[in-house]
Amino acid sequence: MRSDKRDELVRKALDIFYRDGFHATGLDRLSDETGISKTTMFRHFRSKDDLILATMQRRDDGVRAWLHHRMDAAGPPRARLMALYDALGEWVAEPGFRSCLFLRAAAEYPDPAHPIHRLATEHKRRLARQVEAVAAEAGAADPGGLSRALLLLKDGAAVAAYLGHAEDPVADARAGAEAILAATLPVARQGGLPSARTGAPP
């Protein structure tokens, strides 16, 4: 399979897995919807799990790059932390929003030793380190703790938005984050708030 054909398969499979789930999506459906035969799939992926891992890696790279760009564009460190919730609002408003792919992957593959579960948890760790670096720049006494708190609000809001359990979970998460930052960041380092919109996650 040419590399461009492999990339096409990974991109299309990611959309299907995100929409329908991993276990519910069989190879026959993947072949029908992507237009790529199962024989061709197996030239590059030894198993469905290998294909899932490739789609998750693509999503990991895309989401973290997108958030890095959104946060970088916001300006001061505090504004960059709050940009998480601007980005979250754009994401949950996207047609076809199905909450977090990585939370769903961890739930469908609950064994902590399974490669799919491990990749899902590693995505969360990488994102936490990314936010922790900004929290440290903002002057947080405990950057790791602040990062975890902000991302718990983000993940909780994403799940609540998908389940429809709150009228505006993104606004609730933003308010919670504002309160946490007001309580934990030095006043002189807090900076302003982001406002620009630059698109939804890849």
Indicate whether 197 belongs to any domain.
no
Residue 201 pLDDT greater than 90, yes or no: no
Indicate whether 7 belongs to any domain.
no
**In total, how many domains does the chain have?**
1
Between CA 67 and CA 75, with CA 72 as vertex, the angle to 5 degrees is: 135
Buried b (16+ CB within 10 A) or exposed e, 137-149: ebbbeebeebbbb
For residue 129, report the phi and psi dihedrals to the nearest 5 degrees: -65, -35
Indicate whether 14 belongs to any domain.
no
Indicate whether 32 belongs to any domain.
no
Measured over the CA atoms of residue 123, residue 16, residue 94 and residue 173, the dihedral's sign is negative
Given a contact cutoff of 8 angstroms between Cβ atoms, the answer to whether 110 and 100 are in contact is no
Indicate whether 192 belongs to any domain.
no
Q: What is the pLDDT of residue 202?
A: 55
Nearest to 24 by CA among 42, 1, 48, 7: 48
List pLDDT tens digits, range 13-57: 999 999 999 999 999 999 999 999 999 999 889 999 999 999 999
Find the CATH number of the domain harbouring 146: 1.10.357.10
CA–CA separation, 10 and 51 (whole Å): 7
Given a contact cutoff of 8 angstroms between Cβ atoms, the answer to whether 71 and 134 are in contact is yes
pLDDT, averaged across the chain:
91
Indicate whether 174 belongs to any domain.
yes
Indicate whether 164 belongs to any domain.
yes
Residues 46-50: contacts with CB within 8 Å, 24+ apart?
Answer: 49/115, 49/116
Other C-beta atoms closer than 10 Å to the C-beta of 58 total: 16
CA–CA separation, 97 and 18 (whole Å): 9
At 188, the pLDDT band (50, 70, 90 cuts) reads low
- What kind and span of H or E run contains 46? none
- Its domain, for residue 113, covers 53-187
Given a contact cutoff of 8 angstroms between Cβ atoms, the answer to whether 131 and 68 are in contact is no
Indicate whether 146 belongs to any domain.
yes
Q: What is the pLDDT of residue 125?
A: 97
Residue 4 pLDDT greater than 90, yes or no: no
List pLDDT tens digits, range 57-113: 999 999 999 999 999 999 999 999 999 999 999 999 999 999 999 999 999 999 999
